[in-house]
Structures are given as C-alpha cells and as structure tokens.
Chain A
Amino acid sequence: MPNLSRRTALRLTAGMALGAALPLAGCGRDTNDAATASSAKKVDASPATGTVNVWAAQGDADVLGTVVKPFKAANPDVVVKTTLIPNAEYYTKLQAAIAAGKGPDIAQFFPESQAQFLDSSTLLPVPDGLVDKDSFFKSLWDAGVVDDVAYTVPWYAYTYALVYRSDLAKKAGVQAPTAWDDMEPFLKALQGAGAARGLGADIGWDIFNGQDVAMYAWQAGGSLVTSAGKWNLNTPQMVDALNYNASFFTSGTADTSGPTFLDAQPYFVSGKTAGMITGPWVLGQLDTAAKKTGWTSSHVATAPLPAGASSSVSFSAGGTWGVLADSGNADAAWKLVRYLAKPSTQVAQYKAYGSLPSVISAWDDSAIKSQPLLAAFFTQLKNTRAFPQVGTWQQVATRLGKEMEAVAKGKETAAKAAANIQAYAESVGTGTK
C-alpha cells in the first residue's frame, strides 16, 4: 500500500463518511406520523410494581425522596430511583440518553422549553383518565399538548409577579402599580423613600430576559407566532415591550450593571433595590438573606404584574413530568405521575421545597392559603400564557434576551431589535416537521 499523506487520509475519511450517509438518502421521514397517540393504555388502580427510574433537574426535585414516601408505602412492590442532574446540563444529558435509547421511565421537563420533546417517538401520550386536565392551570397543561395530544402532566408552577418592599411603599404612600404607566412613578417613589434603585431588573440578557420581553409583548396585546405558526416578532407590540423593559434602565430606576442574579436578594434586603419581578421562591429565602426570621412578612408585599395595553398576562413556567416512549415500566411510571398530581402531594411538595402547586385546588390548603404573599402569584397564575410550542423557542428567546441588552444599553433602537429578532427567528425557523 503506497504511503498516504495526511491529506489523503483525511480525504479518505470524508469519503467514508459520505458513503455512510448515502444509504440515508432515499429513506425519507414518514410524514404520516398518524395518531399512534390514541391507543394509550388506560391506567388502573392496582398497585405499581417494578422499578421506576426518575430523572429530574436539581432544584425542586431535591425533595422527591421525601415526597414519594407515601407512594412507596401504598405500593410496596415498587422501587423508585431518582437521579438528580445538574440544571445547566439537564437537557443535554436527557437528549443524549434518548438518542441512545437509554433514558429513564419518567423525566422532568420545563414547560417553557419542552417543545422539542413533545413527539410520540420520544414521549408516551398521557393516558385518558389519568388526570383531570382542568384541575391544572390551563396554560401549564396546554404547554404539553401538540395536535390535541397531551404528553406531559404539570408538576409545579411558577410565574413572575412584582415583589416589592412594603415598608418603603408605605413610607412613600404608594400602592402597587396596576398599569405600565404606573410603574415608573411607583419605582421612583420607592427610591424617594430610601431605595437606591426602585427595581432590581434582570440583567442576565439571556433566555430569561427574552421571556420577560415576550411576556411584555403579550401584555401590549401582541402575539409571538401567527395562527399559521409563523414567527411574528417584528410588531409594534414587541417594540413597546422592548421600550418598556428598557425604560427601567433609562429612567434610572434600574441599573444595567447590577445586581446579578445572586446578588438580587442581598440588594433587595439592604435597600439597594426595592422591587423585583421574579418568582415565588424568593419569598422563602429573604429571611435568610436578611438574617432575621419574620423579616419577609414585615417588609415584603407582592402584586400581580402591571397591565400593558391589553392585559397583565404573565408566562407560565414550572416543571412537568413525561413518560418516555422507551420506558419499560410505563404503567408504574404513570401511576407515580398520577400520585404526584394529587392535591395532597402537591401540598407536600410545597411544604418540603416551596414549589407552588400546578393543581388549582391544592391552593386551598391552609398551608398555602395562609400565606398572604402568595395570593398575588395565585392571581397571576390564573392569567398566564405558554410560550410558543416550537422546538426553536429556546434559541429565539435567548436571542431576544441579547437584543434586549442592546436596547437597554442604548446601542440599538427597539425597532431595529424587533426587526433583528424577527430575522433571526425566521432563519432558525419553527422546527416543525
């Protein structure tokens, strides 16, 4: 065999690669992905058996061991194995596992970003009668529905609401804003009462920021996709949303350089900021940040988000459960999911970790009802929308966050940003088959 140069070696490899790819040609994707969905087996009331592997992202799932104890007691022949996966790498690991056919029985998903998994080849459709879909906050349920087939069951819920220093508001004699136009005066008043900045705005400029802006676009009356499923981001409402978010910075009520995510609470507690648009988890943490029990109840108030031209809708987020199509123990898996959706389990999850129930009736439990600060979140949760259920939403939202950064820092007009994000979204498409 003649001596081959390195170049030739590489060429050979490339040739082999193409050779490997050729058989794929002519084998098309079956576009007739007919409703394999409707044949979901019904799940009965008999005890679960076998092993159920659960994968969940670190966070709310940390307490699963405790929460499923009653389930294990009622189903003595079942073994529930939970694997916690670091948040940042969660989807990567899940994708790799699914690709190799090595996934768990049940996996946690995040409704804001789960669209890429909602497919009968990845997940089993939720069996009829397993749960009552109306028992959940509507948008959370809808987040798992594609073509009238539900693939995920909601687990916990959260959304954003306004969290602010009640003591400073009292001092300034102001009430929580109910409309966009009331925001700036409200924040300025808090500053007058002693806060350095009225708002500790999100400066991550990433997907979370993008989601904020998307939410504001809704509040302004816009939508993100047309009914035909095409991106619709270059709209006056989007421009309004971008400007609204930017106005926090330009009016001086928020700072582009701080606080970063970790400093948000210390800043709030010390009065460097007096407001946050954030989720309910902070309520359980502010006492620690303030190093004083009871600080939160005497210094914090919450309110639903102020309304834009159209409404005060917020986005729906949280966690959901799905059973993988590959699962070898779907029956037990669904029984566990059903258990996790029971109001009593939802309350137990709240007590253990502070996760807000996705089941509406669970909110009637005294543990939750007795929390005045949660009322605003409950109100807000009833007024939420799900983000576009397309595989590329994550990327588009991330990009939206970056465009927001440019607008907030005065490097770009909102109109330009809206055009940019539309162009970008069109280039990545909607990922639908």
Chain B
Amino acid sequence: MTSTLLPRTREAPAVPKAPARKASRARRTAVAWLFLAPFALVFVVFTAIPTVAALGLSLTDIRGADLRTPFAVDFTGIDNYLRLFQDGTFVRDILNTALFVAVGVPLTMVIGFALALALNSGIRRLRGVLRTVFFAPVVTNVVAVALIWQYAFHLDGTVNKLLGAVGFAGPNWLDDPHLAMPVVILLGVWRNFGIAMVLFLAGLQAIPQDVYEAASLDGAGRGRQLRHITLPLLLPTTLMVSVLLTVFYLQVFDEPYLLTGGGPLGSTESVALYTYRQFGAGEFGMSSAASFVMLVLVTVVSVVQFRLLRSRT
C-alpha cells in the first residue's frame, strides 16, 4: 500500500488524451453532483435549512410556543446579540471557553505527538496493545467517564487518597473555582489525546526512512533530525490536528456539563453550555444568538489558524 503515501502529483498524466474523450464540463458537473447528491440532500435538509432558520430566528424575540407561527414574532434585529454581550456571564463563558482551548489544544497535541513519536521508535511488542489503550478514551461514553472523574476528584476520592499517601492533603477539586477548570481540561485532554496520537502516528509513518538515514550519514543527531526533518514534514498533519481539535474544543459541552454543571462560580461554563441553558429557560432568541456567535468564533479561529500554519509550509 505504499502507493497511497506517495506525494500527489498535480501535473497532467503523460499519456495524451484524445480531446473527444474529455466529457464536457457540464456533463462532468452533473455526474459529480450525482455523487454528491446523497450527502447534499441530508446536508441541505438537516443542516443548512435549520442553520439558516435558526440564524433568522436569532434576530427575533421568539419564544418556545412561537416556533409554529414564526411570522407572528417581532423582528428585533441584533437585540438578542446586544443583550448577549451585556450579560456578564456570557462574556465570562467566552473567556472560559478560550481558556479551555488555549490550554487544552496544545496539551492534547503535545501528549499525542510525544506518544506517537515514542510508538514510532522501533517498538515491536506491545505496539498494538498500547495503541488501543491510548485510543480507548476516545471511544468511551462521556457520561460514564465524567461520573468516574467526579468520584476520582471527590474530596475523599482516589486522587486525594493517592496524594494523602505521599503526605499532601488534597483539596476539593471540583468545588474550587481555580481548580475545577484544570480538572475539566484534564478530562478533555484525556478523552482526545488518542486522536492526536493516531493522526501524528500516521504522519510519522509517512516519512520515508531514507531521509533519516541520509541525515544520520551526514552526522545529524536525533535532536537535530527531529527539529529539521520530522517537524517540518509533519506540518500538514500538525495543521490538521490543530484545526480539528480547536473546532471540537471551542464547542466543548459534555465535559463541563457533566463534571461541574458549569460551576463553581461559573468558572467552567462554556459558551455551548450557556446556549443550552438559555434554551431550557425558553429564551430561543438568546440561545440562537449565542450559538451563532460561537459559529462565527469557530470559523474565524479556524481560518486564522489555517492561514498562519499554512504560510509556514
């Protein structure tokens, strides 16, 4: 399967084609859209239309019962958005989410990368087992894991028990506004580093052996090789991991919802959680507005990241 790892060529194939063979653009477009049809159908019906509708509704003062008669609501323009930013809790939640991303993404990537590097260093045995163990958190049910985390970090839980064994009195982690977020971040990282690891592993495996051999012959040590060969060649992978993780983490919901409910003192409440709560309180407009702010944020951050990292390639 080495052919899948060759760099893709962008030039036309060497064999000249008879012009008559090339189907018209229109025909090719039609065929292509046939391929896209199943996806496009689901996408338009279940994603595009609801998104557009929700955006429209965020510009009104709609409430629960009104959804069946959407034309009976008042168009309030950006009122909801203004109320949103006047709500100190919303701004705080944006900061919380930013913290989660700013700490969580690099941490996840570093751990994933380190493990990928380690697993790629000629480890023969245990490789499959290790890979499975490291990936297992990704496939777990978050409700269960959050439960376990809650007990682990309970005042009398395992973590404090272990700390006690070495002489430290562990704090009540989830009750402390300064400590709760690190625990939430830890949960997020634990659940996701496996993805980063697998992606980096694949990237590492794509680097041909000869490049390293040539470098060794030239006298370059391992550290040098890492910096000048591995990292540059991994940039596309790094970019993808970074964007993927950022997109996920910006929308973080499960971890704070299940672990702390957004507390203590709202120190772990994320924007997604805010959105959800607004909806439960019947505030459709606010909920939609918050969601779209989040959508904008996610898009902007992704595009920026893309541009920044792309320019380095």
- A–B touch (CB < 8 A): the answer is yes
Binding site for B on A (CB under 8 A): 6-7, 10, 13-14, 16-18, 20-21, 23-30, 91-92, 95, 98-101, 116-117, 119, 121-122, 203, 205-206, 256-258, 325, 391-392, 394-395, 399, 402, 405-406, 424, 427-428, 431
Kindly report which residue of chain B lies nearest to residue A17, judged by CB atoms. Answer: B55
Contact A91 B280, beta carbon cutoff 8 Å: yes
| B265 at interface by CB-CB < 8 Å | yes
Contact B71 A24, beta carbon cutoff 8 Å: yes
Binding site for A on B (CB under 8 A): 48, 51-53, 55-57, 59-61, 63-75, 83, 86-89, 155, 172, 175, 261, 263-266, 276-277, 279-284, 299, 303
Residues on A with C-beta less than 8 A from B66 are 121
Task: Return 6 A-B CB contacts under 8 Å, by A number.
Answer: A10-B299, A29-B72, A203-B175, A257-B172, A391-B282, A405-B264
Residues on A with C-beta less than 8 A from B70 are 24
Contact B64 A122, beta carbon cutoff 8 Å: yes
Other contacts beyond A21-B59, A394-B281: 4, CB < 8 A: A99-B68, A116-B64, A392-B283, A399-B89
Whole-angstrom CA separation of A431 from B264 in the bound complex: 26
Contact among A29, A122, A203, A394 for B74, CB-based, below 8 A: A29
Is chain A's interface secondary structure helix, strand, loop, or mixed overall?
helix
Whole-angstrom CA separation of A231 from B211 in the bound complex: 71
Residue of A28, A91, A99, A121 with highest tally of chain B CB at under 10 A: A99
Contact A256 B52, beta carbon cutoff 8 Å: no
Contact among A16, A25, A116, A203 for B282, CB-based, below 8 A: A116
Residues on B with C-beta less than 8 A from A6 are 303
Contact A402 B266, beta carbon cutoff 8 Å: yes
Contact among B57, B71, B261, B280 for A92, CB-based, below 8 A: B280
Contact B281 A395, beta carbon cutoff 8 Å: yes
Whole-angstrom CA separation of A29 from B87 in the bound complex: 25
Residues on A with C-beta less than 8 A from B55 are 14, 17, 20-21
B313 CB, nearest partner CB in chain A, Å: 18
Contact A205 B264, beta carbon cutoff 8 Å: yes
B50 CB, nearest partner CB in chain A, Å: 11
Whole-angstrom CA separation of A427 from B90 in the bound complex: 12
B171 CB, nearest partner CB in chain A, Å: 9
Contact among A13, A16, A258, A395 for B172, CB-based, below 8 A: A258
Whole-angstrom CA separation of A16 from B263 in the bound complex: 38
Contact B279 A95, beta carbon cutoff 8 Å: yes
A328 CB, nearest partner CB in chain B, Å: 15
Residues on A with C-beta less than 8 A from B52 are 13, 16-17, 20
A362 CB, nearest partner CB in chain B, Å: 32
Contact B75 A24, beta carbon cutoff 8 Å: yes
Residues on A with C-beta less than 8 A from B88 are 424, 427
Whether A391 contacts B56 in the complex (CB less than 8 A), given A27-B72, A116-B63, A205-B265, comes out as no
Whether A27 contacts B71 in the complex (CB less than 8 A), given A122-B65, A399-B89, A428-B87, comes out as yes
Whole-angstrom CA separation of A402 from B277 in the bound complex: 15
- Counting from the closest, the 4 A-B pairs by CB-CB distance are A116-B282, A21-B56, A99-B67, A17-B55
Contact among B72, B175, B280 for A30, CB-based, below 8 A: B72
Whole-angstrom CA separation of A98 from B263 in the bound complex: 29
A3 CB, nearest partner CB in chain B, Å: 13
Whole-angstrom CA separation of A172 from B93 in the bound complex: 48
A387 CB, nearest partner CB in chain B, Å: 14
Residues on A with C-beta less than 8 A from B51 are 13, 17
Kindly report which residue of chain B lies nearest to residue A257, judged by CB atoms. Answer: B172
Contact A405 B265, beta carbon cutoff 8 Å: yes
Whole-angstrom CA separation of A16 from B88 in the bound complex: 31
Residues on A with C-beta less than 8 A from B264 are 205, 405
Contact B64 A98, beta carbon cutoff 8 Å: yes
Contact A95 B280, beta carbon cutoff 8 Å: yes
Contact A17 B56, beta carbon cutoff 8 Å: yes
Residues on A with C-beta less than 8 A from B73 are 24, 27, 29
Contact A116 B281, beta carbon cutoff 8 Å: yes
Kindly report which residue of chain A lies nearest to residue B77, judged by CB atoms. Answer: A25
A91 CB, nearest partner CB in chain B, Å: 5
Whole-angstrom CA separation of A6 from B61 in the bound complex: 31
Kindly report which residue of chain A lies nearest to residue B73, judged by CB atoms. Answer: A29
Whole-angstrom CA separation of A404 from B266 in the bound complex: 12
Residues on A with C-beta less than 8 A from B155 are 257-258
Residues on A with C-beta less than 8 A from B87 are 424, 427-428
Residues on B with C-beta less than 8 A from A122 are 64-65
Whole-angstrom CA separation of A122 from B63 in the bound complex: 10
Kindly report which residue of chain B lies nearest to residue A121, judged by CB atoms. Answer: B65
Residues on A with C-beta less than 8 A from B59 are 21, 24
Contact A100 B67, beta carbon cutoff 8 Å: yes
Residues on B with C-beta less than 8 A from A405 are 263-265
Residues on A with C-beta less than 8 A from B63 are 116, 391
